[in-house]
Amino acid sequence: MKSTVIKSPADRELTNYVSFSQSVRNSLTMAYRGLLKIRRTPEQLFDVTFQPILFTLMFTYLFGGAISGDVKSYLPVIIPGILVQTVITTSIVTGVQLREDMDKGVFDRFKSLPIARIAPLAGALLADTIRYTIATGLTFTMGFIMGYRPDGGLGYVVISGLLVIVCSWAISWIFAFFGVIARTASSVQGISMIVLFPLTFLSNAFVPVKTLPDWLQWFVKFNPISHLVTAVRDLANNATIGWDPAISLIGAAVIVAIFAPLTVRAYMRRT
């Protein structure tokens, strides 16, 4: 502005199309914004720090004796279960924060910029993988402190952790969708809990499936969360890669394929 004369519109290269590489670049920039925000307000990491510690302690000592006879033999069962439950619950916060964020004026600017429409959403979701990473790390650490020694070794534990993070990121698109369509942040929390509670508890995360009534077994076996839990158990405890990781990843891809476009469309309409 100081010296330069503004280029006239006729001299500009204009395109009404956003390339894939630009979408990725925009999303990464938005993810960087998300990370900066987390750094500025570290108190928003409160839930991902305390929930893994609290839940792991609570559920292990509560159910350990009843289900596996003692706490030590319950650990290989419960740690993968609690890991999946905790990390996925954490992804609700993504939707809630997105709702709060969208109420601020800065989203108007994002909408008026020539950037990929998906970027503000994808970036926020991407930045939140840092939260899942913290939750994953803390859950395994808690398990280790309580005596959990996964036979799969560190490598497979890391792979199982990554699998959970990727799947939670995919699931967070569902909550992002709620975040975009809901009127208030607290209603996002409410809807998401209703969806999530049956999904995480009606799975093989905490109890052996054999103990359940037939009709419930059918649901539990069908529940994608069960497949993810099984995948983590196989990886961390036995160092085996069965069909379950593949099923989990396919499920994750399907969720993103459905909910990402839905969310972006709802986001675009909501002005």
**Interface with another protein, residue 171, by CB under 8 A:** no
Q: Which long-range contacts (CB under 8 A, 24 or more apart) does 203-208 make?
A: 203/81, 203/229, 204/81, 204/229, 204/230, 205/78, 205/80, 205/81, 205/82, 205/84, 205/85, 205/229, 206/59, 206/63, 206/67, 206/78, 206/81, 207/63, 207/67, 208/67, 208/77
**Interface with another protein, residue 16, by CB under 8 A:** yes
Q: Are 171 and 252 in contact (CB under 8 A)?
A: yes
Integer Cα distance of 44 and 156 in angstroms: 30
Residue 117 CB, nearest approach to another protein (Å):
9
**Interface with another protein, residue 26, by CB under 8 A:** yes
Nearest to 227 by CA among 44, 84, 25: 84
Q: Are 263 and 173 in contact (CB under 8 A)?
A: yes
**Interface with another protein, residue 271, by CB under 8 A:** yes
Identify which range of 32-40, 130-138, 228-236, 237-245 contacts another protein by CB under 8 A: 32-40
Identify which range of 59-67, 103-111, 207-215, 233-241 contacts another protein by CB under 8 A: 103-111
Among 46, 183, 215, 222, indicate the residue that binds another protein (CB under 8 A). 183
What is the pattern of x (binds another protein, CB under 8 A) and - over residues 104-123?
A: xxxxxxxxxxxx---x----
Q: Tell me how many residues contact another protein (CB under 8 A).
A: 45
- Compare residues 181 and 199 and give the one whose CB is closer to another protein: 181
- Compare residues 2 and 210 and give the one whose CB is closer to another protein: 2
- Compare residues 17 and 46 and give the one whose CB is closer to another protein: 17
Identify which range of 22-30, 60-68, 152-160, 185-193 contacts another protein by CB under 8 A: 22-30
Integer Cα distance of 26 and 20 in angstroms: 10
For the chain, give the number of residues: 271
Nearest to 166 by CA among 247, 253, 49: 253
Using CB under 8 A, list all residues that contact another protein: 1-2, 4-10, 12, 14-18, 22, 25-26, 29-30, 32-33, 36-37, 40-41, 102-115, 119, 183-184, 270-271
